[in-house]
Amino acid sequence: MSARRQKAGTTAEVISDSTSPVDIDLVKKLSQPDISAWCPRPYTIFKLLLSARFCSAFLCHITDADETFNYWEPMHFLMFGSGFQTWEYSPTNKLLVFYFLRFVLSIACAACETYFYRGIMKQFGNHVARIAVVFMIFSTGMFISASAFLPSTFAMYMVLLSYGGWFAGNYAVAVLATAAGALIGWPFTAVLGVPIAWDIVVRQRRRMYFIQLCLISLILFLGPLVYIDSLFYGRTVIAPLGIVLYNVFGKGGPTLYGVESWTYYFLNGF
């Protein structure tokens, strides 16, 4: 036994002694993301993504009845003081308004995707970034969702920003974007912020920093949201809480509109 221990110790010493500073630098280099391979610049990617999103705005039809009656209709009422009117008899060109807003949404989506792409480049290297941008450009889900006038679309923009900030080490952007997407957009996207919270609180042990960012998020987003909603409804309203209570704890429960198999998100992710 003593001979074996002595031999193992001798081997470890040989390895330790034979490790030169050059070898250590090589190990560090190999452990980092590969940024030497060619990869398009973010501005080039923005133009590619913007072209794809403009195609979405111009070619993709409205796929959800909620988008028409919960968002386009109220926006039309706020802008023109009336409900929808047949375009052929309308004194103003509503078609231009429709596509203008869709193009604005497309620009916002392309910008958020580009930020996400930059985060992938920094965290995972150029190879992964190239593959990711190909999936984003040709994704059916992104084609449908990029220019949709829905709160879930805004939440998608914020998720792209939050994960882009997380990958780039900008944790303030990561937490604030997650909070904005969950509070202003769609509250169920808060689940996507769990890995970010775990990284900051558990791995980095920056608990107070995370709490401060959460408090800032509540002040910036939830405060004005509750004030504006309560002003229009005439009573105190917390919209994100109402969405969760209706969809999860309502009479129909979370299965009111059907249940998909476990492969749904996997298949639609591609």
Q: Quote the percentage of the chain above a pLDDT of 90.
A: 55
Band of residue 90 on the pLDDT scale cut at 50, 70, 90: low
Q: Is the pLDDT of residue 17 over 60?
A: no
Over range 97-104, report the average pLDDT. 92
pLDDT for 86 equals: 56
Structure tokens at 164: 């882009």
Long-range contact set of residues 206-214: C-beta below 8 Å, sequence gap at least 24: 206/171, 209/171, 210/175, 213/171, 213/172, 213/175, 213/176, 214/175, 214/179
pLDDT at 142 over 60: yes
Segment 205-261, tens digit of pLDDT? 999 999 999 999 999 999 999 999 999 889 999 999 988 888 888 777 777 777 888
Q: What are the CA-CA distances from residue 85 to residues 13, 62, 156 (Å)?
A: 83, 17, 30
For 120-129, what is the mean pLDDT?
Answer: 93
Mean pLDDT of the chain: 84
Average pLDDT over residues 175-183: 97
pLDDT at 2 over 50: no
The pLDDT value recorded for residue 1 is: 47
Q: How confident is the model over 156-171, as pLDDT tens digits?
A: 999 999 999 999 999 9
pTM for the predicted model, two decimal places: 0.79
What per-residue confidence (pLDDT) applies to 23?
58
